[in-house]
Structures are given as C-alpha cells and as structure tokens.
A and B are shown apart, each in its own frame.
Chain A
Amino acid sequence: MNCDEFVELVTAYLEGALPAETERRFVEHLAECDGCDRYLDQIRTTVRNLGHLPAQGLASDARDRLLAAFRDWPAT
C-alpha cells in the first residue's frame, strides 16, 4: 500500500469498515511507515480534541426560561 492510498482509508479503518484484505495491507503499511503512523495519530488527536471543544452553552436567560417552563409543566 502507498501512503496516498493509506490516508484515504483512515476513516474506514477507524470505523472498522475496511474489507479484511485491505485492512491487513493497511496495518502492514502502518507498521513500516512513520509518516502514516503520524498521520493516523494526528487524525485521532483531531477527533479527540473535537470532543473537548470550548463549551459555550445556552445563554443564561434562555436557560432560566426553560427551567421556568419545566417547573410550570403539568405532570401527566
């Protein structure tokens, strides 16, 4: 497998969606190519950071209105 093919299969690999034979070639390439090892690692780092973006929540007045609506919501 070449590096330019490897980089296009990264997501399918992480999703566990590669056919067995392709996955075998992917993993073999990964084991012998520092550049692709780093590329995959950087994709993982990107994904991990997306799970921790600066949290900006609801505006506090909107939050207050929702909690008030909840409080007044009739029980069924």
Chain B
Amino acid sequence: MADTALPADAVVVARLRARDETMFAALIDAWSPAMLRAARAYVADEHTAQDVVQEAWLGVLRGIDGFQEASSLRTWVYRILINKAKTRGVRDARTVPGLGVTDDDHGPTVDPARFRGADDPYPGHWRSSPPAWPSPEDGALAAETRRQLADALAGLPARQRVVVTLRDVAGHSSDEVCELLSISAANQRVLLHRGRAALRAVLEQHWVKEATA
C-alpha cells in the first residue's frame, strides 16, 4: 500500500494537531489516489470526484482536533469521504450505489463452458487450465496490466467497485469495509468475490488476445 511510509496513527494525528504541514501534505499524497477511485464510484465524473476528495480533506481538517482513536485514522477519513460522496451523488441525482446483493450477484463467476459437462468422466473440472499469464517481472507488462485493471475496475457494477476499491486498492480490512458501508460480512464477501473474479477474467481475455494478436 502507498501509505506504508506513514508513521503510526497516533504520531500522524499529533503532528496534524500541531499543524505540521509536511505531515498533511504526505497524507494527502499517500491517500488521495485511492480516495479518488472510491469517490468515483459514487459520482458522475472525475472532476466531481476531485471535488469530493477535496471536501473530504477539509472535513478531516475540521474534525482532526476532535478525532477519537476508536477507529483507524484511515477508516475515519474514508467515513468522511463516503459521506461527502453520497451527498454529492444525491445532489447530482446520481443513483448512489445500493450495497445490497442483487440478482446480478448470483450465478457462476467463471463461464460454465470452461468446465466439463455431466457426461464427462470428470464433470465440473476444467476443460483446459486457465492460460498462463506473462511473467510479472517485466516492468512494461506490469504497467500494461495495471492500466487494464484500472479500466476494468471502472467498469464494474458500482457496489462491487466500491468494495474492491476499499479492500484491494485502499487496503482496508473486511471488518472496516463492513463498518464503512454498513453491510454484512457475507455481503461484503460476495461483492468482493464477484468483483475480483470479473477483474481476473478481464486480464485473462487481455492476455489471450495479446497472445493471438
């Protein structure tokens, strides 16, 4: 995660209360990219997401002197962010992502045609293994993978996008995400599972296409 270089919460909070501008700048730089991706799931465009993240940081500024360390600093910051994003989404008449599990969230996450049929000696097993992906050691390939992944994430249904962004992009724990979004652990897991499986499938399609191009 991008914030591994940040000191412990207590230190960060103390410095912010002492109005250490370098600390505030470091925090903004470390957390804003993932906050922008999370906000983007709630609002219509990139520009509005920028506004929301800016408002969230102002909210942090207003609240930091009263911050109680019942939750992690990051979870507290994201709670402010999600509130701002929801408010903005409602004001702009955007449908704020419902975070329940819907009909779209059932059924197989891998195309059933990939598995052998009931009349096969090995029903339910791969017809052929998923094709291997290129080695991640290649820097250019890694950059291409991440570009593909960023696009695919933006294309997920909003509720899956929010959960995957909070968990895998921003690095929150499942407990934190359940608390932030007021969803059950089971729902959180379903949305995370479907989102990750869809993203893996996009990467697979990409590499298959590259291999046959």
B contact set with A: CB distance below 8 Å: 1-2, 17-19, 21, 24-25, 28-29, 32-33, 36-37, 50, 53-54, 57-58, 61, 65, 108-110, 112, 115, 123-126, 128-130, 132-133, 136, 142-143, 145-147, 149-150, 153, 164, 168-169, 171, 174, 185, 189, 192-193, 196-197, 199-200, 203-204
**Main SS of chain B's interface residues?**
helix
Selected contact of B32 from candidates A5, A35, A57, A71, CB within 8 Å? A57
- Interface range for A: 35 or more
A58 contacts B54, C-beta separation under 8 Å: yes
**Main SS of chain A's interface residues?**
helix
17 contacts between A and B (CB under 8 A): A2-B115, A3-B125, A4-B124, A4-B125, A10-B197, A42-B204, A53-B169, A54-B150, A55-B2, A58-B32, A58-B36, A58-B50, A59-B50, A66-B58, A66-B61, A69-B58, A71-B19
Q: Smallest CB–CB gap between B163 and chain A, Å?
A: 11
How far is A11 from B21 in the complex, measured between Cα atoms in Å? Answer: 40
Q: How many A-B residue pairs have CB under 8 A?
A: 145
Q: Smallest CB–CB gap between A33 and chain B, Å?
A: 8
Selected contact of B21 from candidates A3, A17, A43, A70, CB within 8 Å? A70
3 interchain residue pairs of minimum CB distance: A2-B124, A35-B129, A11-B193
